[in-house]
Amino acid sequence: MIGKSPAMQQLIERIRTASRAAGSILVTGETGSGKELVARAIHEFSGRSKGRFVAVDCGALPEDLIESELFGYRRGAFTTAMSDKPGLFEEANGGTLFLDEIANTSRRFQAKLLRALQEGQIRRLGDVVTRKLDLRIVAATNCDLRALVQKGDFREDLFYRLCVFSIQVPPLRSRLDDVPLLVDFILAGRKRIAAAALAKLQSYSFPGNVRELENIVESAVYMTENDVIEARHIILPQDLRPPDQEEELQIDNFWDSVARPYAERLITRRHVEYVIRRGLEQTQGSYRRLVRLFNLPDSDYKRFMDFLRRHHCNIDYRHYRQRK
Instruction: List pLDDT tens digits, range 90-107.
Output: 999 999 999 999 998 889
Q: Where does the pLDDT of residue 59 fall: very low under 50, low under 70, confident under 90, or very high at 90 and above?
A: confident
Question: Across the chain, what does the average pLDDT equal?
Answer: 88
φ and ψ at residue 236, rounded to 5 degrees: -100, 160
Q: What is the CATH number of the domain that holds 102?
A: 3.40.50.300
pLDDT at 125 (0 to 100): 85
Do 82 and 24 belong together in one domain?
Answer: yes
Do 82 and 112 belong together in one domain?
Answer: yes
Q: What is the CATH number of the domain that holds 195?
A: 1.10.8.60
Q: How many domains does the chain have?
A: 3
In a domain, 244, yes or no: no
Domain boundaries, position 193: 173-239
- Contacts (Cβ under 8 Å, ≥6 apart) of 141: 26, 27, 28, 101, 102, 103
Q: Where does the pLDDT of residue 246 fall: very low under 50, low under 70, confident under 90, or very high at 90 and above?
A: very low
Do 50 and 12 belong together in one domain?
Answer: yes
* Residue 46 or 250, more confident: 46
Q: What is the mean pLDDT of residues 209-220?
A: 90
In a domain, 310, yes or no: yes
Distance in angstroms (rounded) separating the CA atoms of residues 182 and 165: 27
Given a cut of 90, whether residue 141 has pLDDT beyond it is yes
Do 55 and 144 belong together in one domain?
Answer: yes
What pTM value is reported for the model?
0.75
Distance in angstroms (rounded) separating the CA atoms of residues 10 and 33: 15
